[in-house]
Structure formats: C-alpha cells, structure tokens
Amino acid sequence: MITLEKLLEYKTFYVIRNHNYVVSQQICEQLINLKVKCLELTFTIPNVAELISFVRNKYPTILVGAGTVLTLEQAMQAATAGAQFLVGPVFNQAVSEYCHQNNLLYIPGAMTLQEVNNIVNAKWEIIKIFPATAFKLNFIQTIKTFFPTKVYMASGGINLTNYEEAKNLGYDLIAVGAFITGDINSTGLDMEKFKTFETIINQ
C-alpha cells in the first residue's frame, strides 16, 4: 500500500484540530509552504470534508488523512473528499470493514493490550497509541513484546521534550498536534516551536 509506505518514509506528520475552518485552512497552507508533506485534518474542523478536498486538489503531492473518525458516515465523507488514510481515537468495526472494502488505510487508536489485539485481528498494520503520554512512553515496549511486527504511531502529548524519547523507545510514526498547530481555539501555527521541532526531527 503506497500510503503506508509514504507514512513510514515521512515518519512525522501534523494534526490540525480546530473549530474554525478558515484558521484550519491557513494552518494547512502554512505547513505546506514550509515543506510539510503529510497532514491529518480532524472532524473537529467544520466542513472538514471540504477542506480535505481543497488540499487534495490544490496540493496533489501532499498526503492527506482524516482524523477523529468515529463513524461510518464520517469515513464515507472523508473518502469521498479524497482522504488517503483515516485515523480514529478508537477502533470502529464498521469503519474498519468499509476501509478494507475500499482499500483505504485505517489507523485506529488503542490504549490497552486488548484494544491492540482487536486491531491486529482486524488486520491493520498501523496502530495508534492514544493518548501516548497517558502512561509512560515506554509502554510501547510492552506492547511490542506481544505484537512485534506491527507499526506503531504515537499520538497525544508528543512535544519538543519527549519526541526523541518516543522515537528511541520504538514508535515508528509520530503525530504532532496542539503544541505546534494549536488547540481547537487556536488562531494559527506556532512558528517558533515549528522551526525548533523541525530542527530536532531532521537531525
């Protein structure tokens, strides 16, 4: 699957969670102009399907995923808009089946070994550990003891101080959100933190 290969190549992508469509679009374009190659646009954004379609059409080389996908209806909206992968905070059976039927990459979230096992049994390659900082980051090593062949994504709470630790502990992908792209009420990108973070990940 090309999308999986691209995500593993990029390793880090930016998550945009906002309650303002215009601000979300501005953050998208800022990040793209700063050479970011992969974005996750969440369903907290009003009319997020429209924004996904906008980015896919205007910037066809950018990998665009839909985040906070909780229902089959959302999955279908995102796919129709052109989302190349779907991310959820939890596993949803209907979304899983839809994505398999439509050859669409699904990255569901898990917090326990049982939840990870459910995702493994549903035959998905990438598992989102969320929120990654709810426990000590080295919890990933316990998970990998039982499910060593899967790809793991850290999401939730990753920042300048713990990015290197997460990577060194065995996370294959890192989703970066609020500390750079802001919370749901943010008015824009934190450029200073972005530049510092990009320096760290490109070392």
Residues 1-38 pLDDT 10s? 679 999 999 999 999 999 999 999 999 999 999 999 99
Range of the domain at 16: 2-201
Residue 188, pLDDT score: 87
Quick one: angle between helices 48-58 and 72-81, nearest 10?
A: 30
Domain count, the chain: 1
pLDDT for residue 66 is more than 80: yes
Can you tell me the distance from the alpha carbon of 171 to that of 179, in angstroms, rounded to the nearest whole number?
A: 19
Can you tell me the distance from the alpha carbon of 137 to that of 63, in angstroms, rounded to the nearest whole number?
A: 27
CATH of the domain at 173: 3.20.20.70
The candidate with the shortest Cα–Cα distance to 12, out of 34, 33, 40, is 40
Q: What is the DSSP letter of 1?
A: -
pLDDT for residue 202 is more than 90: no
Q: pTM for the complete prediction? A: 0.95
